[in-house]
Amino acid sequence: MCGIAGILTPSIDLRNEKPLIESISKTLKMRGPDAKGEYITPNTALIHRRLSVIDVENGAQPMRFGKYIIVYNGEIYNTAEVRDELISFGYKFDSHCDTEVVLKAYDKWKEESVKKLNGIFAYAVYDEKENSLFLARDRIGVKPCFYSKKNDLFAFASRISSLLCIPQIKHVVNEEGLNEIFMLGPAKTIGKAIFKDISELAPAHYLTYKNGKINLSQYWRLEAKENTETVEEAVEHTYSLVKDSIERQLVSDVPLATFLSGGLDSSIISKVASDYYKKDNNVLNTYSVDYTDNDKYFKKSLFQPNKDSDYIGLISDAIGSVHNNVVLDNSDVAYALKEAAIARCVPGFADVDSSLLLFCKEVKKNFTVCLSGECADEIFGGYPWYHRKEILFEECFPWSRSTVSRRNILKPDFLKNGEDYMRDAYNQTISLTSYLDSDSPLEKRMREMFILNLNWFMQTLLARKDVMSMESSLEVRVPFCDYRLVEYAYNMPWEIKALDGREKGILRKAFENDLPYDIAWRKKSPYPKTHNPVYFDCVCKLVQQALDDKSCPLSDMLNVSAVKNLMKNPDSMTEPWYGQLMQTPQVLAYIYQIYVWIKNYNVEFEL
């Protein structure tokens, strides 16, 4: 994986802007600590930072072929097939890296080339003769890409902070951005980047930039298609697709491990990976995360019915992995909130971010690539809101069913149109759903839920995974995001997907013979959080520091007495802020991260 950035402008000689280019490159260093490269002409700059994973000796970027120069971030999992097709057209290759394949695919098929790729990516191809740029992002949105156009300047980057280095791009957030933070956060609308001057290139989109004009195109979308498979056929199909996706993502020229929580998804990935490694007499390393004294303070809930620690040893022993359990200090998790917020460049995901950041740093000490089980819940119906009918048909985001908790911490009359903003975001997402005329009301709603989860909950988790892992210079791959699997799951009838009335029933059935029974049929439990009061005490101190800072405009937005009440009475918050992942400790941590973000990025507000 890597970090990329670029600037096109006719009014600045970029050869004289080396301090600016160097500052942008530095913001990308953790994404690519192994090497850096630049392509600079009077009006164009392309910047690359490399984390070497495939063909470590070759694959330096920016890479040139004819009139095209590419900067690329990602991994292509069907590289061999695309390379073979290009060879049949007479192309020759000097490396086995996927960058060269992507570049020559563009030379052959231009914009249509992106449809040939199965992988996770964001890349730019500059045409020297036409002075134009092609910028593309993978179908699911695993790899980030942001851009900005200010007058005659166009810029793009893997990180928002890279763009904020450019003087023309202002650190301004308007009411829309504040609604994203307080009404929808930590989620955000696809295409938005909180800052007024910056946009996100949406998943499954590419843009072309030429003569000062941006043209956006969507090259892939989910379409409703009839599925007439029997249960037996669906079990076999699910098994083969998942296994193929995992095995394709095990290709690496550097050490690789898997995250293993003891849950269904990570256990499937680790089992397939372990079997793959055993073919060459290798042993898989697996990693899990926990917190000091967490067993002592753990409390069961609807969303977290059991502890991971009860299951990890069972699956590790079954697959024969060398398991590593990373135990995080609770105060470290709190103090890492600052680094996590700065890395995100927007308000973050509280300790769900900071703990992953610390975890990835530990894994990076021995490994450069990991596989993780995110996104199976979104596409196979793993969350409780898929299965509780009192929630399922409510016309709202099921993980944020009201704004009561959000409103309670805000000053009265602040963001008066917040509820309308939230409702519009929901309705806009629902409008993207593709149906069949034969769909029952339940099937229609399940398609809507799929789109809601894909475009919101899943995007939040993917952004978290990319930023926190790459901030640790660790590449994390997510096999359940293979677009073939997503397409297949979207059109699977609900009664098959929820086989035996269970969340992810078809996935459980497909792999029940490969896993211990207690793993295959374990009730879903989310990413582990700390339950230790040490963490909560630390967060409260950090929030108090933020409230005491009168130079920060955050206090002008908050109902300070309500925030302090949460600190004194954490059980007073009656409904989750964001699904199963954000209760009172996380909401307070989120407030602190907003403070850190404002101070670090010198955010100005336009209301």
Dist CA 238 CA 509 (whole Å): 9
The reply to whether omega before 528 is within 30° of 0 (cis) is no
Question: DSSP for 247-282?
Answer: HHTT--SS-EEEE--SSHHHHHHHHHHHHHHHTTT-
Dist CA 205 CA 115 (whole Å): 10
In eight-state DSSP terms, residue 37 is E
The tokens of 461 are what?
Answer: 């988790």
Active-site entry in 2, 97, 360, 481: 2
Question: DSSP for 437-480?
Answer: TT--HHHHHHHHHHHHIIIIIHHHHHHHHHHHHHTTT-EEE-GG
Beta strands 205-210 and 132-137, pairing class: antiparallel
* Long-range contacts formed by 392-395: CB under 8 A, 24+ apart: 392/445, 392/449, 393/445, 395/426
> Containing H/E element for 231?
helix 231-248
Residue 551 to residues 40, 276, 540, 556, 598: CA-CA distances in angstroms? 40, 56, 19, 10, 11
Tell me if residue 32 falls in helix, strand or coil.
coil
Dist CA 585 CA 145 (whole Å): 31
The tokens of 100 are what?
Answer: 């060269």
The tokens of 502 are what?
Answer: 């269970």
The tokens of 379 are what?
Answer: 């596409």
Dist CA 283 CA 267 (whole Å): 15
Catalytic residue list contains 396: no
- With beta carbons less than 8 A apart as the criterion, state whether 142 and 464 touch: no
**Which residues carry out catalysis?**
2
